[in-house]
C-alpha cells in the first residue's frame, strides 16, 4: 500500500469517527428510515400521476373523437367515455400488476444468481467488487482493501454487489404488485371523470369546450404537483402536460369530424 493510499484511508477513518460523534445511531436510523419511506412514496406518486394523466388524456381523446363524429350527441359521447374509462381502469390495473410482478420475479432471479456467486465463488465476487469500486474512483489499493473487508461479511458484499452491479435492492419493495395495480386503476378512473362530466351537464359545443377546459385544468394541476418532486419550474411542468392534453383533444375532435366523410357515412346516419 503506498503512502497516498494510506493517507486517504486514514482521512476516511478520521471523518467516520467525527461523523459518529456528531450523529448518534438513533438519529441516523430515524433519518435513513425517513429517506426510505420517501423513496417508496415516490413510486406510489409515479403510479398515481401516470394513471391520472393517462385517464385524462385518453378519455378526452375518446369523447372528443365521438363528439366530433356525432356532432356532439350526448348519449353517444357518454357511452363511449364511460366505456373507455371502465375499460381503462381494468386494463391499467392489470398491466401494472402483471408488469410489477414480472419485474419482481426477474429481479429475484438475478439476486439469487449473485447470492450463489458470493457464497460459492467468494474470490470472484471480491475481485468484481474491488474492480467496481476502482471504477467509481477509489485507488486500487483502497478498493481492494474495502472489497476484502466486505468479503468477510457475505451479506454486506451481496447487498452492495446487487446494488452496484444490477442497480437493485436485496430487500423487496414495501409496495406489492396488487397495491400498485389498485393505485394505478383508481388514478385512471378518477382521471377519466373530468373529460366526461361536462358532457353529462351540458350538450353540444358547451359540453365539448367544458370537457377540454376541465381536462386541461386538472392536467395543469398534476403538472404543478409533479414539479414538487422533479424540482422543475411548476409553470413549465404544468404547461408541458397541458400541451399533451390539448393535442390529444384537438386531434380527437379533428379525426372524429373527418372520419365519417372518409368512411362514406352519410350525415343523416350520424
Neighbours of 92 (CB within 10 A): 25
Rounded CA separation 23/29 (Å): 10
For 146-194, how does the pLDDT look when each residue is reduced to its tens digit (9 = 90+)?
999 999 999 988 888 888 887 777 665 556 889 889 999 999 999 999 9
Q: Say how many CA atoms lie within 13 Å of 147 toward its Cβ.
A: 25
pLDDT of residue 267 exceeding 80: no
CA atoms of 22 and 25, how far apart (whole Å): 10
Q: Residue 170, SS3?
A: coil
| CA–CA gap between residue 147 and residue 145 (Å, rounded) | 6
The string of pLDDT tens digits covering residues 60-86 is 989 988 998 888 899 999 999 999 999
Greater confidence (209 vs 17) lies with 209
- What grid cell was written down for 212? 377540454
**pLDDT, mean over the chain:** 83
| Furthest-apart CA atoms within the chain: distance in Å | 91
The phi-psi region of residue 201 (left if phi > 0; otherwise alpha if psi is between -120 and 50; otherwise beta) is alpha
CB burial string 257-268: b at 16+ within 10 A, e below: eeebeeeeeeee
CA distance 28 to 35: 10
pLDDT digits (tens, 9 = 90+) for 82-106: 999 999 999 999 999 999 899 888 8
pLDDT tens readout for residues 227-237: 887 778 999 98
Amino acid at each position: 500500500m503506498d503512502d497516498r493510499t494510506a493517507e486517504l484511508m486514514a482521512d476516511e477513518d478520521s471523518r467516520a469517527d467525527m461523523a459518529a460523534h456528531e450523529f448518534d445511531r438513533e438519529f441516523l436510523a430515524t433519518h435513513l428510515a425517513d429517506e426510505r419511506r420517501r423513496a417508496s412514496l415516490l413510486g406510489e406518486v409515479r403510479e398515481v400521476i401516470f394513471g391520472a394523466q393517462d385517464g385524462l388524456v385518453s378519455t378526452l381523446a375518446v369523447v372528443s373523437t365521438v363528439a366530433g363524429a356525432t356532432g356532439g350527441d350526448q348519449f353517444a359521447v357518454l357511452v363511449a367515455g364511460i366505456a373507455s374509462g371502465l375499460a381503462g381502469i381494468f386494463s391499467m390495473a392489470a398491466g401494472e400488476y402483471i408488469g410489477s410482478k414480472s419485474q419482481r420475479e426477474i429481479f429475484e432471479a438475478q439476486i439469487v444468481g449473485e447470492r450463489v456467486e458470493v457464497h460459492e465463488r467468494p474470490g470472484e465476487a471480491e475481485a468484481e467488487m474491488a474492480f467496481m469500486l476502482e471504477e467509481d474512483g477509489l485507488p486500487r489499493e483502497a478498493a481492494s482493501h474495502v472489497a476484502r473487508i466486505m468479503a468477510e461479511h457475505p451479506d454486506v458484499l451481496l447487498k452492495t454487489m446487487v446494488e452496484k452491479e444490477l442497480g437493485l435492492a436485496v430487500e423487496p419493495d414495501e409496495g406489492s404488485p396488487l397495491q400498485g395495480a389498485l393505485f394505478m386503476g383508481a388514478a385512471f378512473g378518477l382521471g377519466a371523470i373530468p373529460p366526461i362530466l361536462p358532457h353529462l351537464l351540458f350538450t353540444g359545443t358547451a359540453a365539448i369546450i367544458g370537457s377540454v377546459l376541465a381536462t386541461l385544468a386538472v392536467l395543469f394541476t398534476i403538472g404543478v404537483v409533479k414539479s414538487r418532486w422533479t424540482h422543475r419550474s411548476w409553470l413549465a411542468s404544468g404547461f408541458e402536460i397541458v400541451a399533451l392534453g390539448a393535442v390529444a383533444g384537438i386531434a380527437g375532435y379533428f379525426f372524429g369530424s373527418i372520419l365519417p366523410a372518409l368512411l362514406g357515412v352519410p350525415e343523416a346516419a350520424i
